[in-house]
Amino acid sequence: MNLQNIISDIEKVDPEVYERTSDRRDIFKNFGGVGKKIALSALPFALGGIFNKAYGQTTADIIGVLNFALKLEYLEFNFYQQGVANTALMAQGTPANAAAFTIIRDHENSHVNFLRTVITSLGGTPVTLTAANFDYTARGAFPTWNTNYDVYLAIAQAFEDTGVRAYKGQAGNVKSNRTVLTAALNIHSVEGRHAARVRLMRAGRGGAGAITKPWITGKDTSGI
């Protein structure tokens, strides 16, 4: 996955991101010279490191944190929504896996609705994103994301791992609001269960996914 593409896509949905994280050059320095490309397995750690320092604890900053989380939830929900609706894709897996993806999709939709409600209650304006806002091919890097089940699983793992790391990394930035903190940690635990379930699916497929551990290690490869 091209790091430049990831940063550019985040910039599109959050134009003020660089005001929170110094400048573009500093962002790339955060990656310790790993180069212009970063593996899917490293994405959760990379994003966590960048955005952990991006937001504070005023009400406005908490709203910023929640809107960032909301963007991730939209990313996941639309990914699973399209996947579940793709019967040819789901047919490459098991009925149990298809049912699990349906449940995961519904969880992500609940997270979207919950975060929108909390942001509004804090006086903020929740972002609104649709499938059209996301390029799941990563600008052509994964053209078979919705036709190749193993690629779909690998991307799902990356998204869920990202969600786990993002919520954990931002917990300290919303701790001044106990209600928001509790909710964020609850969502974090759900994302963790999603990540474990997707990893189990990959392990059951054999091949590159078979080496995937049921927990986030930062060392296992994405398989693509």
Q: Encode pLDDT of 143-202 as tens digits.
A: 999 999 999 999 999 999 888 887 777 777 777 777 787 778 778 888 889 999 999 999
The domain made up of 3-211 is a member of CATH 3.40.1710: no
Q: Do residues 112 and 131 make contact, with C-beta atoms less than 8 angstroms apart?
A: no
At 182, the amino acid letter reads T
Q: Is residue 77's pLDDT more than 80?
A: yes
Q: 93 vs 41, which has greater pLDDT?
A: 93
Structure tokens at 152: 């779909």
Q: Do residues 184 and 119 make contact, with C-beta atoms less than 8 angstroms apart?
A: no
Q: 113 vs 186, which has greater pLDDT?
A: 113
pLDDT band at 35 (very low <50, low <70, confident <90, very high): very low
Structure tokens at 75: 């990313």
Please tell me the predicted confidence (pLDDT) of residue 146. 97
Nearest to 122 by CA among 76, 165, 183, 75: 183
Report field, pTM of the whole predicted structure over 0.85:
no
Buried b or exposed e, range 99-138, using 16+ CB within 10 angstroms: ebbeebbebbbebbebbbebbeebebebbebeeeebebeb
Please tell me the predicted confidence (pLDDT) of residue 117. 93
Mean pLDDT of the chain: 77
Q: Rounded mean pLDDT of 139-144?
A: 93
Q: Rounded mean pLDDT of 80-85?
A: 98
Q: 58 vs 33, which has greater pLDDT?
A: 58
